[in-house]
Amino acid sequence: MPKPTFFGLPDDKRQLIERVALEEFADQGYAGSNTNRIVERCGIAKGSFYQYFDDKKDLLFHLLDKMVAEKMASLQPVLDNYKSHSFSHNIEALFETGIRYAAADPLLWRFGRRFTGGGMMDLLMEFAAKYRPVSTDLFGELLLHAEANGELRDDIDVPSVAALLTAFVNQASITVVERMTNEQTRTVFIRQMLLFLEHGVLKHSGGNDL
């Protein structure tokens, strides 16, 4: 945790430090990052940095915490309401939430990408334990709800398909955000994704929103 001094900083200065650090970690990764470069680009002294943070890791973990908190907050509306909607509506909502989150703050998105599903095994292990259960079980939860609701084909194995769905939706988001700048290709892509999902997972007589 950053020291009290850091949280006592004027908002603009604190935010500047966070943005600069976010960019540094997003671009260079943890091992490649450089505190000298960070303080220089913030226009603060090296010593000040260590009045705010115990060490480099402390800063990284603070940013990871913030990122997770924001992601959870942006997901909250979907998490709160999924029980009163159909499966495909929920998937679409989840997906669009992810896209909007990325569009709202591309830097935070890049940072998140760097630190999920890639390197960092050593450091991340320390961090991941806190949050792992949340994201892994989300799709399983949606599927169980859909199953109870009679929306699923009878031959669906929930754990397998939950793993597939997680992969599928995550990667689809990445594809849209990073490769499809054109609004129209995005729309087409999203429709294609939903068609793919519905015809693959749902009974063909399956219901719409409840």
Partner DNA sequence: AGGTCACATGACTTGCAGGTCACAAGGAGG
Partner DNA sequence: CCTCCTTGTGACCTGCAAGTCATGTGACCT
When the beta carbons of 16 and 174 are compared against a second copy, the nearer one is 174
> Of the ranges 52-60, 72-80, 94-102, 152-160, which one interacts with DNA (CB under 7 A)?
52-60
Residue placing its CB nearer to DNA in the complex, 45 or 107: 45
Q: Residues 14, 29, 105, 127: which binds a second copy (CB under 8 A)?
A: 29
Residue with token string 């015809």: 199
The runs of H, that is alpha helices, within 3-120 are 4-8, 11-32, 35-42, 46-52, 56-81, 87-104, 106-114
DSSP structural state of residue 152: B
For 147, the token pair is 């199953």
Does the footprint of a second copy cover residue 155 (CB under 8 A)?
Answer: yes
* H/E stretch holding 177: helix 158-179
Half-sphere exposure of 76 (CA within 13 A, CB side): 7
Binding of residue 36 to DNA (CB under 7 A): yes
Q: Report if residue 11 touches DNA, rule: CB under 7 A.
A: no
Tell me which residues touch a second copy (CB under 8 A): 27-32, 114, 117-122, 153, 155-157, 159-161, 163-164, 167-168, 170-172, 174-175, 179, 185, 188-189, 192-193, 195-201
